[in-house]
Amino acid sequence: MKVTTSICPECHDTVEAVIFEEQGKMLIEKTCHVHGTYRDIYWGDIPSYYRFDKYLQNGSGVAGNTNRNNGGCPQDCGICKEHKTSTILANIDITNRCNQQCPICFANANVSGYLYEPTMEQIRDMMAGLKNQKPVMCHAIQFSGGEPTMRNDLFQLIRMGKEMGFKHVQLATNGKKLAESVEYCSNLLESGLKTVYLQFDGITPEPYIATRGFNALPDKLKAIQNCREAGMPIDLVPTVVKGINDHQLGDMIRFVASNIDIIKGLNIQPVSFAGRIDDVQRNRQRITIPDVMKQIEDQTDGMITADDFYPVPFILPLSHLADAMSDINNVQFSVNPHCGSGAYIYVDEKNNLIPVTHFVDVEGLFEHIEELAVEVKAAHHLKTYFRWKGIRKLSKGIKQHVDTSKVPDGIDFAKMFLNLLVDRSGNSTKVFHRKMMLVGIMHFQDLYNIDIERIQRCGVHYALPDGRVIPFCTYNSLYRADVEKQFSKSLNLNTIAV
Ligand code: SF4
Ligand code: SF4
C-alpha cells in the first residue's frame, strides 16, 4: 500500500489517498470529509505496477521558477520548487476554436462560450520563457487547441518557433484542414514542422461516430495521404475508451506498420474523464496502461507482448550519459513510471512486427549505459579523451547486448543505435526511424485517479500568457477553464468560423 495525495472531484480540495492491491488490480481510494469516498482503478495489473515502480526517479525541476504552491501541491500550481521534472514538451494552446464539435472535447470555444486566442506577441513571450528555462532548456513545443489549424498565422508561428531555436515543433490536429490539400501539408513542412500529431481513434467509422459524433475516418485517411505526398511525418494519437475502440489496438498498430514510410508512431492515450462522471460510466469506460499493453499482446497474437513495454524513465541513463559527455544539462525523462510506457517495434519487409526487446537485452544495455555515465562523469576533467573513450566503450557495450543472430535481416542495429546516441545532426534519427515504430502509451490523469506523485514528475507542460508553466494533468483537471476565461476575448458565438 502506498499513501499519496489526490483531489476531491467535487470541491477540488487536496485529500489523502491510498493506492492498494485488490482483485488483481491497483486501486486508488480517497475520502473528502464533505463529499465522501471515491475509488478508481489506478493500474489494471499488479505485477507490472511493481515492475514499473522500480524506475521511479527524480529529474531536474525548473529553477528560478515562480515559487507559487502557496496552498500545497497542486493548489496554486505553476512550476514551483517542488516540481521534479523539467519541461520535456511544452503545449501552447493557440486557439480554442475548432472545426469539429466533438462531444468528448473539453477545449472548444463552442462549448465554453469564450474565445481564447493568445496574440503572436504573447506566444513569442511564452516561447522565450520556455527557452530560458534552467537548468534544462526546453527544446520541444506542440501547438495545440482547440484546433490549431483554425489560425491563419499558424505557419508564421511554426517558423517563429524554429527561429527561436526549438529543435522540435509539432502540431496536435484533427487533420481536417490537412485533408483539404497537399499544399497545406507542404507549407507545414516548409515552415519547419517536425511532426503532425494526428488524432486517430480507429480504422473503422464506429469509434469516430461514438466519440466525435460523425465519421471522421475519410478525413484522417486523406490527411495521411496528403502528408505522404508532402513528406510530412505523422504520429497517430488514439484516445482509447474501453468498449469503444480498445478492440482496434492491434489493427491500429498494423495500420501504422503498413504506412511506416510516413507514420512513425502510435501514441495511445487511455481516456481521461473531463469534469464529473458517474461511477457506472467511469467503470465501464476506464482503461489503464497495463490493460492496453495486454490488449496489444492479445490482438497481435503475442508478436508484441506486455513485457516488451518499459516505462518512460527507463531511458534516463541516456540523459545521464549525455550530461556526462557534454557541458550542457540534457532533458531528463523522469516522468513517473505509471504515466507512460513505450515499445520500439521494427517493421520488416513483410510488415512483421519485431519488438527491439527480441534482439536486444535492453535491461543489460541500459545498466551498462548508466555505469558508463558514472565513469565518464567522474573523469570529466579529462574531457575530450574520455569522451572518445566513452564512445568506444558505448559501442562495445551496445554490441555485447545485441543478439546478432536475431537482428532482422538488412539492419545493423548496433551501428544505428550508436549513431542515434552520438550523432546530433538529426540524420541518424531519421535513419533509426525509417522502419522503426514507437508504440507509446500515456495515461493522462483526471479528477478521479489523480496522484500527486505523478503530477510532480510531469514533463508535459502548458505555457500560459502570464508566463506561468503548468503541468498538463493539473492544467486540464483544475486550471484550464479559469486560465482561458482570464485571458479570453469577448466572443459572439455566431461569429466563430467553424
Ligand atoms: S504539480 Fe508541480 S508545479 Fe504544480 S504545484 Fe505541484 S509540484 Fe508545483
Ligand atoms: S501529462 Fe499527465 S500523464 Fe503525462 S507525464 Fe504529465 S502527469 Fe503524467
Residue-wise pLDDT for 313-348, tens only, equals: 999 999 998 888 887 888 999 999 999 999 999 999
The more confident residue out of 67 and 199 is 199
Q: What pLDDT is attached to residue 496?
A: 44
Q: Mention every residue, 6+ apart, whose C-beta is less than 8 A from residue 64.
A: 134
Q: In the predicted model, is pLDDT for residue 183 greater than 60?
A: yes
Spatial CA neighbour of 249 closest among 104, 40, 440, 432: 440
Record the pTM: 0.94
What is the tens place of the pLDDT at every residue in 185-214? Answer: 999 999 999 999 999 999 999 999 998 889
Q: Ligand 2 pocket test: which of 458, 461, 476 has the largest number of ligand atoms within 8 Å of its C-beta?
A: 458
Nearest to 56 by CA among 125, 4, 120: 4
**Which band of pLDDT confidence, cut at 50, 70 and 90, is reported for residue 489?**
confident
Task: Of 405, 403, 428, give the one whose Cα is nearest residue 417.
Answer: 428
pLDDT for res 495? 44
| pLDDT at position 348 | 92
pLDDT at 381 over 90: no
DSSP β-ladder status, 140-144 and 89-93:
parallel
Position in ligand 2 atom list of the atom nearest CA 443: 3
Q: For residues 297-306, give the mean pLDDT.
A: 97
Q: Which residues partner with 327 through β-bridges?
A: none
User: How much is the pLDDT for 498?
Assistant: 35
Q: Which of 4, 6, 79 to mutate to test the pocket of ligand 1 (most atoms within 8 A of CB)?
A: 79
pLDDT for the residue numbered 209: 94
The answer on pLDDT for 494 being more than 70 is no
CA of 469 to the centre of ligand 2 (A): 14
Ligand that lies nearest to the alpha carbon of residue 5, given by its number in the listed order: 1
Indicate the pLDDT class of residue 448, thresholds 50, 70 and 90. Answer: very high
Q: Is 469 helix (H, G, I), strand (E, B) or coil?
A: strand
Domain locations in the chain? 2-47, 301-442
Ligand 1 atom 4 nearest Cα:
77
- Render 135-191 in DSSP notation, one character per residue: SS---EEEEESS-GGG-TTHHHHHHHHHHTT-SEEEEEE-STTTTT-HHHHHHHHHH
- pLDDT, residue 380, reads 67
Measure the CA–CA gap between 365 and 368, rounded to whole angstroms. Answer: 5
Would you state the pLDDT for residue 182? 98
Q: What is the pLDDT of residues 386-413, one digit of tens each?
A: 677 888 889 999 999 999 999 998 889 9
Strand boundaries in 276-397, DSSP class E: 310-311, 340-347, 353-355
196 lines ligand 1 (CB under 6 A): no
Q: Which of 83, 336, 450 to mutate to test the pocket of ligand 1 (most atoms within 8 A of CB)?
A: 83
For 63, which DSSP code? B
CA of 474 to the centre of ligand 2 (A): 9
Distance between CA atoms of 140 and 88, rounded to whole angstroms? 7
| pLDDT tens per residue across span 417-428 | 998 888 766 788
- The ligand placed nearest to the CA atom of residue 477 is 2
Per-residue pLDDT at 344: 97
Average pLDDT over residues 126-150: 95
CA 482 to ligand 1 centroid distance, Å: 17
Q: State the pairing for strand pair 436-442/340-347.
A: antiparallel
The 3-state DSSP class for residue 451 equals coil
Which ligand approaches the C-alpha of residue 450 most closely? 2
Q: Which tops the pLDDT comparison, 129 or 494?
A: 129
The pLDDT of residue 70 is 60
Query: Is 466 a pocket residue for ligand 1 (Cβ < 6 Å)?
Result: no
Alpha-carbon distance of 187 to 454, in angstroms, equals: 38
Average pLDDT of the residues in 101-113: 67
Predicted confidence (pLDDT) per residue in 449-486, tens digit? 999 999 999 999 999 999 999 999 999 999 988 888 88
Mean pLDDT computed over every residue of the chain: 91
Query: Which of the two residues, 280 and 107, has the higher pLDDT score?
Result: 280
